[in-house]
A and B are shown apart, each in its own frame.
Chain A
Amino acid sequence: MNEAVLRFEQVVYRYPDAAERALQGLSLDVPRGRVTAILGPNGAGKTTLLRLAYGRFQPQAGRIWLEGRLLSSYTRQELGRKVALVPQRETNPFSYSLLEYVLLGRAPHLSPLQMPTAEDVEIALYALETTGLLPMTRRTVQSLSGGEFQLLLVARALAQQADLLLLDEPTSHLDLGNKKRLVTCLQNLVAGGTTILFTSHEPEVVAALADQVVLMRGGQVLSSGALEDIWQADRLSEVYGIPVQVHRFDGHRYLTWV
Protein backbone atom coordinates (compact mmCIF):
# COMPACT_ATOMS: atom_id res chain seq x y z
CA MET A 1 0.00 0.00 0.00
CA ASN A 2 2.70 2.43 0.95
CA GLU A 3 4.73 1.66 -2.13
CA ALA A 4 6.45 4.69 -3.68
CA VAL A 5 5.44 5.56 -7.24
CA LEU A 6 8.39 7.87 -7.52
CA ARG A 7 11.61 7.73 -5.53
CA PHE A 8 14.57 10.11 -5.60
CA GLU A 9 17.84 8.76 -4.17
CA GLN A 10 20.63 11.23 -3.46
CA VAL A 11 19.80 13.11 -6.65
CA VAL A 12 22.18 15.84 -7.77
CA TYR A 13 21.34 18.23 -10.58
CA ARG A 14 23.22 21.28 -11.80
CA TYR A 15 21.96 23.35 -14.74
CA PRO A 16 24.45 23.79 -17.56
CA ASP A 17 26.31 27.10 -17.10
CA ALA A 18 25.10 27.37 -13.49
CA ALA A 19 27.63 27.78 -10.72
CA GLU A 20 25.63 26.01 -8.02
CA ARG A 21 23.71 22.78 -7.92
CA ALA A 22 19.96 23.16 -8.09
CA LEU A 23 19.48 19.86 -6.27
CA GLN A 24 22.15 18.60 -3.91
CA GLY A 25 21.72 15.01 -2.89
CA LEU A 26 17.95 15.10 -2.66
CA SER A 27 16.04 12.02 -1.51
CA LEU A 28 12.28 11.74 -1.62
CA ASP A 29 9.43 9.21 -1.76
CA VAL A 30 6.10 9.88 -3.41
CA PRO A 31 3.64 7.29 -2.06
CA ARG A 32 0.97 5.83 -4.35
CA GLY A 33 -2.54 7.23 -4.21
CA ARG A 34 -1.58 10.14 -1.97
CA VAL A 35 -1.00 13.85 -2.42
CA THR A 36 2.52 15.06 -1.79
CA ALA A 37 3.19 18.79 -1.63
CA ILE A 38 6.57 20.44 -2.03
CA LEU A 39 6.91 23.69 -0.19
CA GLY A 40 9.87 25.99 -0.09
CA PRO A 41 11.14 29.47 -0.87
CA ASN A 42 11.86 30.67 -4.42
CA GLY A 43 14.90 28.98 -5.86
CA ALA A 44 14.65 26.01 -3.51
CA GLY A 45 14.68 23.63 -6.48
CA LYS A 46 10.97 22.73 -6.54
CA THR A 47 10.46 23.17 -10.28
CA THR A 48 13.78 21.46 -11.00
CA LEU A 49 12.60 18.49 -8.99
CA LEU A 50 9.46 18.26 -11.14
CA ARG A 51 11.51 18.52 -14.33
CA LEU A 52 13.57 15.55 -13.26
CA ALA A 53 10.41 13.69 -12.26
CA TYR A 54 9.03 13.74 -15.81
CA GLY A 55 12.40 13.00 -17.36
CA ARG A 56 13.05 16.37 -18.95
CA PHE A 57 16.47 16.52 -17.29
CA GLN A 58 18.72 13.68 -16.22
CA PRO A 59 20.42 13.84 -12.81
CA GLN A 60 24.22 14.09 -12.76
CA ALA A 61 24.36 11.82 -9.74
CA GLY A 62 21.92 9.71 -7.76
CA ARG A 63 18.99 7.69 -9.02
CA ILE A 64 15.33 8.25 -9.79
CA TRP A 65 12.95 5.29 -9.70
CA LEU A 66 9.52 5.27 -11.29
CA GLU A 67 7.35 2.31 -10.27
CA GLY A 68 10.41 0.26 -9.37
CA ARG A 69 12.24 0.92 -12.64
CA LEU A 70 14.96 3.45 -13.27
CA LEU A 71 13.31 6.51 -14.81
CA SER A 72 16.11 6.80 -17.35
CA SER A 73 15.23 3.34 -18.70
CA TYR A 74 11.80 4.50 -19.93
CA THR A 75 11.33 5.75 -23.48
CA ARG A 76 9.88 9.21 -23.81
CA GLN A 77 6.55 7.84 -24.96
CA GLU A 78 6.38 5.40 -22.03
CA LEU A 79 7.07 8.30 -19.67
CA GLY A 80 4.22 10.24 -21.27
CA ARG A 81 1.89 7.40 -20.31
CA LYS A 82 3.19 7.23 -16.73
CA VAL A 83 3.70 10.86 -15.75
CA ALA A 84 1.55 13.85 -16.70
CA LEU A 85 2.50 17.47 -16.17
CA VAL A 86 0.33 20.49 -15.47
CA PRO A 87 2.73 23.37 -16.12
CA GLN A 88 2.66 26.63 -14.25
CA ARG A 89 1.76 28.56 -17.37
CA GLU A 90 1.44 27.77 -21.02
CA THR A 91 1.11 29.87 -24.14
CA ASN A 92 -0.59 28.97 -27.39
CA PRO A 93 -1.64 31.56 -29.96
CA PHE A 94 -4.26 29.44 -31.73
CA SER A 95 -7.97 29.25 -30.93
CA TYR A 96 -8.49 25.58 -30.19
CA SER A 97 -11.77 24.28 -28.84
CA LEU A 98 -11.51 22.75 -25.38
CA LEU A 99 -12.09 19.27 -26.77
CA GLU A 100 -9.30 19.66 -29.36
CA TYR A 101 -6.94 20.88 -26.65
CA VAL A 102 -7.66 18.07 -24.22
CA LEU A 103 -7.31 15.52 -27.05
CA LEU A 104 -3.64 16.53 -27.28
CA GLY A 105 -3.20 14.68 -23.98
CA ARG A 106 -3.75 11.44 -25.91
CA ALA A 107 -0.44 11.92 -27.75
CA PRO A 108 1.60 9.40 -25.71
CA HIS A 109 -0.95 6.70 -26.58
CA LEU A 110 -0.76 7.35 -30.34
CA SER A 111 1.97 6.65 -32.85
CA PRO A 112 3.28 9.64 -34.86
CA LEU A 113 1.02 9.04 -37.85
CA GLN A 114 -2.09 8.05 -35.90
CA MET A 115 -5.12 10.27 -35.50
CA PRO A 116 -7.15 10.29 -32.28
CA THR A 117 -9.90 7.68 -32.48
CA ALA A 118 -13.47 7.76 -31.18
CA GLU A 119 -12.17 6.12 -28.02
CA ASP A 120 -9.66 8.93 -27.51
CA VAL A 121 -12.48 11.46 -27.91
CA GLU A 122 -14.46 9.51 -25.31
CA ILE A 123 -11.54 9.71 -22.86
CA ALA A 124 -11.04 13.43 -23.54
CA LEU A 125 -14.74 14.11 -22.95
CA TYR A 126 -14.57 12.16 -19.71
CA ALA A 127 -11.60 14.28 -18.61
CA LEU A 128 -13.58 17.43 -19.43
CA GLU A 129 -16.51 16.08 -17.43
CA THR A 130 -14.29 15.28 -14.45
CA THR A 131 -12.92 18.82 -14.39
CA GLY A 132 -16.37 20.33 -14.83
CA LEU A 133 -15.58 21.85 -18.22
CA LEU A 134 -17.95 19.71 -20.28
CA PRO A 135 -20.64 22.42 -20.58
CA MET A 136 -18.19 24.73 -22.34
CA THR A 137 -16.49 22.22 -24.59
CA ARG A 138 -17.21 24.19 -27.74
CA ARG A 139 -15.69 27.42 -26.45
CA THR A 140 -12.16 28.31 -27.47
CA VAL A 141 -9.15 28.13 -25.20
CA GLN A 142 -8.64 31.88 -25.52
CA SER A 143 -12.06 32.64 -24.07
CA LEU A 144 -11.31 30.88 -20.78
CA SER A 145 -10.51 32.65 -17.54
CA GLY A 146 -7.25 31.85 -15.76
CA GLY A 147 -8.95 29.36 -13.47
CA GLU A 148 -10.81 27.60 -16.26
CA PHE A 149 -7.58 27.35 -18.23
CA GLN A 150 -5.82 25.74 -15.28
CA LEU A 151 -8.65 23.22 -15.06
CA LEU A 152 -8.26 22.61 -18.80
CA LEU A 153 -4.58 21.77 -18.32
CA VAL A 154 -5.60 19.34 -15.58
CA ALA A 155 -8.13 17.82 -17.99
CA ARG A 156 -5.44 17.37 -20.63
CA ALA A 157 -3.19 15.70 -18.07
CA LEU A 158 -6.10 13.41 -17.12
CA ALA A 159 -6.56 12.42 -20.75
CA GLN A 160 -2.98 11.17 -20.60
CA GLN A 161 -4.22 8.50 -18.15
CA ALA A 162 -0.94 8.67 -16.28
CA ASP A 163 -0.31 7.15 -12.85
CA LEU A 164 1.41 10.22 -11.52
CA LEU A 165 0.16 13.78 -11.89
CA LEU A 166 2.70 16.60 -11.46
CA LEU A 167 1.45 20.14 -10.90
CA ASP A 168 3.73 23.17 -10.77
CA GLU A 169 2.15 25.83 -8.56
CA PRO A 170 -1.33 25.00 -9.81
CA THR A 171 -3.16 27.71 -7.86
CA SER A 172 -0.69 30.56 -8.09
CA HIS A 173 -2.73 32.75 -10.47
CA LEU A 174 -6.19 31.82 -9.29
CA ASP A 175 -8.77 33.73 -7.29
CA LEU A 176 -10.43 32.14 -4.27
CA GLY A 177 -13.36 30.62 -6.12
CA ASN A 178 -11.16 29.02 -8.77
CA LYS A 179 -8.73 27.80 -6.12
CA LYS A 180 -11.60 26.05 -4.43
CA ARG A 181 -12.75 24.49 -7.71
CA LEU A 182 -9.27 23.21 -8.51
CA VAL A 183 -8.65 21.84 -5.02
CA THR A 184 -12.02 20.07 -5.08
CA CYS A 185 -11.29 18.64 -8.51
CA LEU A 186 -7.90 17.32 -7.36
CA GLN A 187 -9.45 15.85 -4.21
CA ASN A 188 -11.89 13.94 -6.40
CA LEU A 189 -9.02 12.62 -8.51
CA VAL A 190 -7.15 11.37 -5.47
CA ALA A 191 -10.31 9.67 -4.26
CA GLY A 192 -10.26 7.92 -7.63
CA GLY A 193 -6.72 6.64 -7.03
CA THR A 194 -4.46 9.20 -8.77
CA THR A 195 -1.10 10.02 -7.21
CA ILE A 196 -0.33 13.73 -7.10
CA LEU A 197 2.90 15.61 -6.57
CA PHE A 198 2.65 19.38 -6.58
CA THR A 199 4.67 22.44 -5.69
CA SER A 200 3.11 25.44 -4.02
CA HIS A 201 3.73 28.75 -2.36
CA GLU A 202 0.35 28.70 -0.74
CA PRO A 203 0.16 27.14 2.74
CA GLU A 204 -3.64 27.06 2.80
CA VAL A 205 -3.77 25.05 -0.44
CA VAL A 206 -1.16 22.64 0.87
CA ALA A 207 -3.01 22.25 4.17
CA ALA A 208 -6.28 21.58 2.36
CA LEU A 209 -4.95 19.10 -0.18
CA ALA A 210 -1.76 17.37 0.92
CA ASP A 211 -1.27 14.15 2.88
CA GLN A 212 2.50 14.41 2.75
CA VAL A 213 4.60 17.54 2.85
CA VAL A 214 8.19 18.01 1.76
CA LEU A 215 9.93 21.17 2.92
CA MET A 216 12.77 22.17 0.60
CA ARG A 217 15.45 24.77 0.83
CA GLY A 218 18.66 25.24 -1.13
CA GLY A 219 18.17 22.13 -3.24
CA GLN A 220 17.76 19.86 -0.26
CA VAL A 221 14.91 18.38 1.76
CA LEU A 222 14.75 20.05 5.16
CA SER A 223 12.08 17.75 6.46
CA SER A 224 9.30 15.59 5.10
CA GLY A 225 6.46 13.54 6.48
CA ALA A 226 2.74 13.58 7.16
CA LEU A 227 1.04 16.98 7.09
CA GLU A 228 0.37 17.02 10.86
CA ASP A 229 4.03 16.42 11.65
CA ILE A 230 5.44 18.97 9.25
CA TRP A 231 2.90 21.70 9.83
CA GLN A 232 4.74 23.06 12.87
CA ALA A 233 5.71 26.65 13.49
CA ASP A 234 9.39 25.91 14.03
CA ARG A 235 9.80 23.87 10.84
CA LEU A 236 7.96 26.36 8.66
CA SER A 237 9.84 29.27 10.21
CA GLU A 238 13.09 27.52 9.42
CA VAL A 239 12.26 26.85 5.76
CA TYR A 240 11.18 30.41 4.99
CA GLY A 241 13.62 32.13 7.35
CA ILE A 242 10.91 34.26 8.96
CA PRO A 243 8.79 33.75 12.08
CA VAL A 244 5.62 31.84 11.17
CA GLN A 245 2.73 30.88 13.46
CA VAL A 246 0.40 27.93 12.95
CA HIS A 247 -3.17 28.22 14.24
CA ARG A 248 -5.93 25.66 14.38
CA PHE A 249 -9.48 26.68 13.88
CA ASP A 250 -12.54 24.59 13.11
CA GLY A 251 -10.44 21.57 12.17
CA HIS A 252 -8.31 23.54 9.71
CA ARG A 253 -4.76 24.74 10.02
CA TYR A 254 -3.89 28.34 9.30
CA LEU A 255 -0.59 30.02 8.96
CA THR A 256 0.21 33.63 9.78
CA TRP A 257 3.43 35.44 9.11
CA VAL A 258 2.76 39.10 9.96
Chain B
Amino acid sequence: MNLARPVSSQPIVSKAALKSASRSQSRRRLLGMLILLLVVFGLSLFLGRYPHVGLISPAQLTEDPLAQRLILNLRLPRLIASVLIGMSLAGAGMVMQMVFANPLVEPGFLGVSQAAAFGAALTILASGGVGWQVQFSAVIFGLAGLFLSYLLARRVRYGGWVLRLLLAGIAVSALFASGVGLIKYLADPLRQLPDITFWLLGGLWSITWRSVLSVLPLISLGLLVLWLMRWRLNLLALDDEVVFSLGVAANRERLLVLLAAVAVTAASISISGLIGWVGLLVPQLARRLSGADARDGLPTAFLLGGIFMMICDNLARTISAGEIPLGILTSLLGALGFVILMTRRTYKV
Protein backbone atom coordinates (compact mmCIF):
# COMPACT_ATOMS: atom_id res chain seq x y z
CA MET B 1 0.00 0.00 0.00
CA ASN B 2 1.57 3.26 -1.05
CA LEU B 3 1.00 5.84 1.66
CA ALA B 4 3.40 8.39 0.34
CA ARG B 5 1.05 9.77 -2.25
CA PRO B 6 1.97 13.31 -3.18
CA VAL B 7 0.01 15.58 -0.87
CA SER B 8 2.15 18.65 -1.25
CA SER B 9 3.86 19.96 -4.32
CA GLN B 10 7.27 19.81 -2.63
CA PRO B 11 9.74 17.33 -4.06
CA ILE B 12 10.50 14.19 -2.13
CA VAL B 13 13.53 14.92 -0.01
CA SER B 14 16.17 12.38 0.81
CA LYS B 15 16.52 11.35 4.43
CA ALA B 16 20.25 11.89 4.47
CA ALA B 17 19.88 15.45 3.22
CA LEU B 18 17.27 16.17 5.88
CA LYS B 19 19.47 14.87 8.62
CA SER B 20 22.61 16.82 7.92
CA ALA B 21 21.30 20.09 6.44
CA SER B 22 19.23 21.60 9.22
CA ARG B 23 21.68 20.95 12.05
CA SER B 24 24.80 22.35 10.42
CA GLN B 25 22.81 25.32 9.15
CA SER B 26 21.65 26.20 12.64
CA ARG B 27 25.15 25.74 14.02
CA ARG B 28 26.48 28.22 11.47
CA ARG B 29 23.75 30.69 12.37
CA LEU B 30 24.54 30.45 16.07
CA LEU B 31 28.25 30.92 15.41
CA GLY B 32 27.48 33.98 13.29
CA MET B 33 25.39 35.48 16.07
CA LEU B 34 28.09 34.78 18.64
CA ILE B 35 30.59 36.67 16.48
CA LEU B 36 28.09 39.52 16.10
CA LEU B 37 27.68 39.65 19.88
CA LEU B 38 31.44 39.87 20.37
CA VAL B 39 31.76 42.60 17.71
CA VAL B 40 28.99 44.67 19.30
CA PHE B 41 30.62 44.11 22.67
CA GLY B 42 34.00 45.30 21.38
CA LEU B 43 32.58 48.38 19.69
CA SER B 44 30.40 49.29 22.66
CA LEU B 45 33.45 49.27 24.88
CA PHE B 46 34.88 52.23 22.97
CA LEU B 47 31.56 53.96 22.26
CA GLY B 48 30.18 56.66 24.48
CA ARG B 49 30.30 60.29 25.52
CA TYR B 50 33.86 61.06 26.35
CA PRO B 51 33.24 63.92 26.38
CA HIS B 52 31.33 63.89 23.09
CA VAL B 53 29.52 61.03 21.41
CA GLY B 54 32.02 58.88 19.56
CA LEU B 55 34.57 56.08 19.77
CA ILE B 56 37.68 56.29 21.89
CA SER B 57 40.61 55.64 19.55
CA PRO B 58 43.40 53.18 20.48
CA ALA B 59 45.89 56.06 20.34
CA GLN B 60 43.88 58.04 22.85
CA LEU B 61 43.63 54.96 25.03
CA THR B 62 47.39 54.51 25.33
CA GLU B 63 48.03 58.03 26.53
CA ASP B 64 44.91 58.82 28.54
CA PRO B 65 44.76 57.01 31.91
CA LEU B 66 41.29 58.38 32.57
CA ALA B 67 39.99 56.75 29.39
CA GLN B 68 41.60 53.47 30.46
CA ARG B 69 39.88 53.63 33.82
CA LEU B 70 36.60 54.59 32.19
CA ILE B 71 36.73 51.54 29.98
CA LEU B 72 37.96 49.06 32.56
CA ASN B 73 35.99 50.17 35.60
CA LEU B 74 32.79 51.59 34.15
CA ARG B 75 32.10 50.37 30.65
CA LEU B 76 33.42 46.82 30.92
CA PRO B 77 31.35 45.76 33.97
CA ARG B 78 28.37 47.60 32.54
CA LEU B 79 28.62 45.76 29.22
CA ILE B 80 29.09 42.41 30.89
CA ALA B 81 26.02 43.17 33.00
CA SER B 82 23.96 44.11 29.96
CA VAL B 83 24.90 40.87 28.19
CA LEU B 84 24.09 38.82 31.28
CA ILE B 85 20.78 40.61 31.83
CA GLY B 86 19.81 40.37 28.17
CA MET B 87 20.59 36.66 28.11
CA SER B 88 18.73 36.09 31.35
CA LEU B 89 15.57 37.99 30.47
CA ALA B 90 15.38 36.59 26.93
CA GLY B 91 16.17 33.05 28.07
CA ALA B 92 13.73 33.22 30.96
CA GLY B 93 11.09 34.59 28.59
CA MET B 94 11.64 31.69 26.21
CA VAL B 95 11.38 29.19 29.04
CA MET B 96 8.19 30.71 30.43
CA GLN B 97 6.60 30.86 26.99
CA MET B 98 7.32 27.18 26.49
CA VAL B 99 6.29 25.99 29.94
CA PHE B 100 3.03 27.92 29.72
CA ALA B 101 2.64 26.99 26.03
CA ASN B 102 1.83 30.61 25.40
CA PRO B 103 4.00 32.88 23.23
CA LEU B 104 2.73 36.00 25.01
CA VAL B 105 4.13 35.24 28.45
CA GLU B 106 7.19 37.04 29.81
CA PRO B 107 9.54 36.54 32.78
CA GLY B 108 7.60 38.94 34.97
CA PHE B 109 4.80 36.41 35.17
CA LEU B 110 4.34 34.51 38.42
CA GLY B 111 4.69 37.73 40.37
CA VAL B 112 8.48 37.84 40.09
CA SER B 113 8.96 41.36 38.72
CA GLN B 114 6.42 43.08 40.89
CA ALA B 115 7.60 41.24 43.99
CA ALA B 116 11.22 42.18 43.26
CA ALA B 117 10.14 45.79 42.71
CA PHE B 118 8.30 45.73 46.01
CA GLY B 119 11.36 44.35 47.78
CA ALA B 120 13.60 47.04 46.32
CA ALA B 121 11.14 49.84 47.05
CA LEU B 122 10.60 48.62 50.59
CA THR B 123 14.34 48.67 51.27
CA ILE B 124 14.70 52.15 49.81
CA LEU B 125 11.84 53.31 52.05
CA ALA B 126 13.17 51.59 55.16
CA SER B 127 16.91 52.16 54.94
CA GLY B 128 17.38 54.86 52.34
CA GLY B 129 18.64 52.32 49.83
CA VAL B 130 22.21 51.13 50.04
CA GLY B 131 23.03 49.30 46.78
CA TRP B 132 23.59 45.78 47.99
CA GLN B 133 20.63 45.87 50.38
CA VAL B 134 18.25 46.86 47.60
CA GLN B 135 19.71 44.14 45.42
CA PHE B 136 19.45 41.44 48.07
CA SER B 137 15.92 42.41 48.95
CA ALA B 138 14.88 42.36 45.28
CA VAL B 139 16.17 38.79 44.79
CA ILE B 140 14.58 37.55 48.00
CA PHE B 141 11.22 39.14 47.25
CA GLY B 142 11.35 37.97 43.62
CA LEU B 143 11.79 34.37 44.74
CA ALA B 144 9.16 34.89 47.42
CA GLY B 145 6.79 36.07 44.69
CA LEU B 146 7.34 32.81 42.84
CA PHE B 147 6.90 30.80 46.01
CA LEU B 148 3.67 32.60 46.84
CA SER B 149 2.35 32.03 43.32
CA TYR B 150 3.25 28.37 43.64
CA LEU B 151 1.48 27.99 47.00
CA LEU B 152 -1.55 29.82 45.73
CA ALA B 153 -1.64 27.73 42.55
CA ARG B 154 -1.83 24.58 44.64
CA ARG B 155 -4.97 25.98 46.26
CA VAL B 156 -6.69 27.21 43.12
CA ARG B 157 -9.58 24.88 42.32
CA TYR B 158 -9.86 25.61 38.65
CA GLY B 159 -8.13 24.52 35.48
CA GLY B 160 -4.97 22.52 34.89
CA TRP B 161 -1.67 23.11 36.64
CA VAL B 162 -0.38 25.61 34.10
CA LEU B 163 -3.51 27.73 34.12
CA ARG B 164 -3.54 27.69 37.92
CA LEU B 165 0.05 28.95 38.09
CA LEU B 166 -0.83 31.68 35.65
CA LEU B 167 -3.88 32.80 37.61
CA ALA B 168 -1.95 32.72 40.86
CA GLY B 169 0.84 34.76 39.23
CA ILE B 170 -1.61 37.43 38.13
CA ALA B 171 -3.04 37.69 41.64
CA VAL B 172 0.39 37.85 43.28
CA SER B 173 1.59 40.47 40.78
CA ALA B 174 -1.41 42.65 41.50
CA LEU B 175 -0.84 42.27 45.23
CA PHE B 176 2.79 43.43 45.04
CA ALA B 177 1.95 46.15 42.53
CA SER B 178 -0.48 47.65 45.03
CA GLY B 179 2.27 47.39 47.65
CA VAL B 180 4.66 49.30 45.38
CA GLY B 181 1.96 51.94 44.87
CA LEU B 182 1.54 52.31 48.61
CA ILE B 183 5.30 52.67 49.18
CA LYS B 184 5.53 55.33 46.47
CA TYR B 185 2.73 57.18 48.20
CA LEU B 186 4.48 56.97 51.57
CA ALA B 187 8.01 57.68 50.33
CA ASP B 188 9.75 60.99 50.92
CA PRO B 189 9.19 62.77 47.60
CA LEU B 190 12.63 64.42 47.66
CA ARG B 191 14.97 61.70 48.85
CA GLN B 192 13.31 58.32 48.37
CA LEU B 193 10.76 58.67 45.58
CA PRO B 194 13.37 59.48 42.88
CA ASP B 195 15.35 56.38 43.85
CA ILE B 196 12.26 54.21 43.72
CA THR B 197 11.14 55.69 40.41
CA PHE B 198 14.55 55.19 38.82
CA TRP B 199 14.60 51.62 40.03
CA LEU B 200 11.14 50.98 38.59
CA LEU B 201 12.24 52.41 35.24
CA GLY B 202 15.42 50.35 35.15
CA GLY B 203 18.97 51.30 34.25
CA LEU B 204 22.58 50.20 34.39
CA TRP B 205 24.30 53.44 35.43
CA SER B 206 25.04 52.15 38.91
CA ILE B 207 26.68 48.89 37.79
CA THR B 208 30.10 48.21 39.29
CA TRP B 209 32.40 45.19 39.16
CA ARG B 210 31.05 44.32 42.56
CA SER B 211 27.42 44.20 41.47
CA VAL B 212 28.27 42.17 38.35
CA LEU B 213 30.27 39.65 40.36
CA SER B 214 27.53 39.41 42.98
CA VAL B 215 25.00 38.06 40.46
CA LEU B 216 27.40 36.21 38.17
CA PRO B 217 27.29 32.83 40.00
CA LEU B 218 23.50 32.66 40.21
CA ILE B 219 22.96 33.81 36.63
CA SER B 220 25.64 31.43 35.24
CA LEU B 221 24.17 28.50 37.11
CA GLY B 222 20.61 29.30 36.05
CA LEU B 223 21.53 29.81 32.40
CA LEU B 224 23.56 26.59 32.43
CA VAL B 225 20.60 24.60 33.75
CA LEU B 226 18.33 26.06 31.08
CA TRP B 227 20.88 25.45 28.35
CA LEU B 228 21.32 21.81 29.38
CA MET B 229 17.55 21.30 29.40
CA ARG B 230 16.98 23.07 26.08
CA TRP B 231 15.62 20.11 24.10
CA ARG B 232 13.52 19.11 27.07
CA LEU B 233 11.74 22.48 27.00
CA ASN B 234 9.96 21.34 23.83
CA LEU B 235 8.39 18.48 25.76
CA LEU B 236 7.25 20.73 28.59
CA ALA B 237 5.16 22.76 26.15
CA LEU B 238 3.03 19.71 25.29
CA ASP B 239 -0.36 18.95 26.83
CA ASP B 240 -0.20 17.27 30.23
CA GLU B 241 -1.51 13.89 29.13
CA VAL B 242 0.82 13.78 26.13
CA VAL B 243 3.92 14.69 28.06
CA PHE B 244 2.97 12.09 30.67
CA SER B 245 2.58 9.42 27.99
CA LEU B 246 6.10 10.27 26.77
CA GLY B 247 7.44 9.20 30.15
CA VAL B 248 8.36 12.69 31.34
CA ALA B 249 7.83 13.86 34.93
CA ALA B 250 6.54 17.11 33.50
CA ASN B 251 5.59 19.06 36.60
CA ARG B 252 8.90 18.32 38.30
CA GLU B 253 10.87 19.41 35.25
CA ARG B 254 8.63 22.44 34.72
CA LEU B 255 9.26 23.49 38.29
CA LEU B 256 13.02 23.07 37.85
CA VAL B 257 13.26 25.20 34.70
CA LEU B 258 10.84 27.79 36.11
CA LEU B 259 12.97 28.04 39.23
CA ALA B 260 16.09 28.57 37.11
CA ALA B 261 14.28 31.13 34.93
CA VAL B 262 12.97 33.04 37.92
CA ALA B 263 16.36 32.98 39.64
CA VAL B 264 18.15 34.55 36.67
CA THR B 265 15.33 37.06 36.23
CA ALA B 266 15.37 38.11 39.89
CA ALA B 267 19.17 38.34 39.89
CA SER B 268 19.09 40.50 36.76
CA ILE B 269 16.35 42.78 38.02
CA SER B 270 18.20 43.19 41.29
CA ILE B 271 21.08 45.04 39.61
CA SER B 272 19.20 46.76 36.80
CA GLY B 273 15.73 47.56 38.08
CA LEU B 274 12.66 46.62 36.08
CA ILE B 275 13.34 46.09 32.38
CA GLY B 276 10.34 45.08 30.36
CA TRP B 277 9.60 43.69 26.91
CA VAL B 278 12.98 42.02 26.32
CA GLY B 279 11.67 38.73 27.67
CA LEU B 280 8.61 38.93 25.47
CA LEU B 281 10.04 40.22 22.21
CA VAL B 282 13.43 38.51 21.95
CA PRO B 283 12.11 34.92 22.24
CA GLN B 284 9.57 35.69 19.51
CA LEU B 285 12.34 37.02 17.30
CA ALA B 286 14.55 34.04 18.15
CA ARG B 287 11.87 31.57 17.12
CA ARG B 288 11.43 33.36 13.83
CA LEU B 289 15.14 33.07 13.14
CA SER B 290 15.75 29.53 14.32
CA GLY B 291 12.39 27.75 14.28
CA ALA B 292 10.35 26.56 17.23
CA ASP B 293 12.74 23.87 18.48
CA ALA B 294 14.29 25.23 21.68
CA ARG B 295 17.49 23.31 20.95
CA ASP B 296 18.31 26.21 18.62
CA GLY B 297 15.73 28.67 19.90
CA LEU B 298 17.12 29.01 23.40
CA PRO B 299 20.77 29.70 22.43
CA THR B 300 19.45 32.09 19.77
CA ALA B 301 17.39 33.89 22.41
CA PHE B 302 20.44 34.08 24.71
CA LEU B 303 22.61 35.68 22.03
CA LEU B 304 19.89 37.98 20.64
CA GLY B 305 19.01 39.08 24.17
CA GLY B 306 22.62 40.01 24.89
CA ILE B 307 22.96 41.94 21.63
CA PHE B 308 19.61 43.72 22.08
CA MET B 309 20.44 44.76 25.62
CA MET B 310 23.88 46.11 24.71
CA ILE B 311 22.39 48.18 21.91
CA CYS B 312 19.62 49.52 24.16
CA ASP B 313 22.12 50.42 26.86
CA ASN B 314 24.43 52.10 24.33
CA LEU B 315 21.50 54.27 23.31
CA ALA B 316 20.54 54.90 26.93
CA ARG B 317 23.96 56.31 27.77
CA THR B 318 24.72 58.19 24.55
CA ILE B 319 21.49 59.74 23.25
CA SER B 320 21.42 62.55 25.76
CA ALA B 321 23.90 64.05 28.22
CA GLY B 322 21.82 62.71 31.08
CA GLU B 323 21.12 59.03 31.11
CA ILE B 324 17.80 57.75 29.73
CA PRO B 325 16.33 54.96 31.90
CA LEU B 326 16.97 51.67 30.12
CA GLY B 327 13.49 50.32 30.84
CA ILE B 328 11.97 53.15 28.83
CA LEU B 329 14.13 52.32 25.81
CA THR B 330 13.53 48.57 25.93
CA SER B 331 9.79 49.24 26.21
CA LEU B 332 9.89 51.63 23.27
CA LEU B 333 11.99 49.40 21.00
CA GLY B 334 10.29 46.25 22.27
CA ALA B 335 6.80 47.56 21.66
CA LEU B 336 7.74 48.83 18.18
CA GLY B 337 9.37 45.53 17.31
CA PHE B 338 6.40 43.62 18.63
CA VAL B 339 3.96 45.65 16.53
CA ILE B 340 6.08 45.03 13.43
CA LEU B 341 6.24 41.29 14.19
CA MET B 342 2.51 41.00 14.82
CA THR B 343 1.41 42.90 11.74
CA ARG B 344 3.70 41.12 9.30
CA ARG B 345 1.72 38.82 7.05
CA THR B 346 3.99 35.86 7.61
CA TYR B 347 3.72 36.08 11.37
CA LYS B 348 4.10 32.83 13.15
CA VAL B 349 5.10 32.06 16.70
Contacts and interface: CB of A to CB of B under 8 A. Distances in A.
Do these two chains interact?
A: yes
B247 A76 contact: yes
A54 B238 CA distance: 17
Contacts of B323: none
Interface string B333-349: 00000000000000011
A87 B242 contact: yes
Given A92-B238, A93-B349, A121-B19, A80 B248 contact: yes
A84 interface: yes
B239 A90 contact: yes
Contacts of A118: 19
Contact of B101 (A93, A132, A148): A93
Contact of A115 (B1, B98, B237, B295): B295
B10 A138 contact: yes
Interface stretch (B180-188, B286-294, B308-316): B286-294
Contacts of B287: 94-95
Interface centre among B18, B245, B348 (most CB of A within 10 A): B245
B59 interface: no
Interface stretch (A3-11, A103-111, A208-216): A103-111
A38 B310 CA distance: 60
A91 B163 CA distance: 14
Interface string B15-39: 1001100100000000000000000
Contacts of A160: 246
A234 interface: no
Interface centre among A76, A78, A84 (most CB of B within 10 A): A76
A115 B232 CA distance: 8
Given A94-B237, A96-B292, A137-B13, A83 B1 contact: no
A48 interface: no
B36 to A, nearest CB: 24
A174 B293 CA distance: 28
A253 to B, nearest CB: 21
Contacts of A76: 244, 247-249
A181 B13 CA distance: 21
B234 A104 contact: yes
B3 A131 contact: yes
Interface string A176-200: 0000010011011000000000000
6 contacts: A87-B241, A108-B246, A115-B231, A122-B15, A135-B10, A138-B13
Interface of A: 51, 54-56, 76-81, 83-85, 87, 90-97, 99-100, 104-105, 107-108, 112-116, 118, 121-122, 125, 129-132, 134-140, 142, 148, 160, 181, 184-185, 187-188
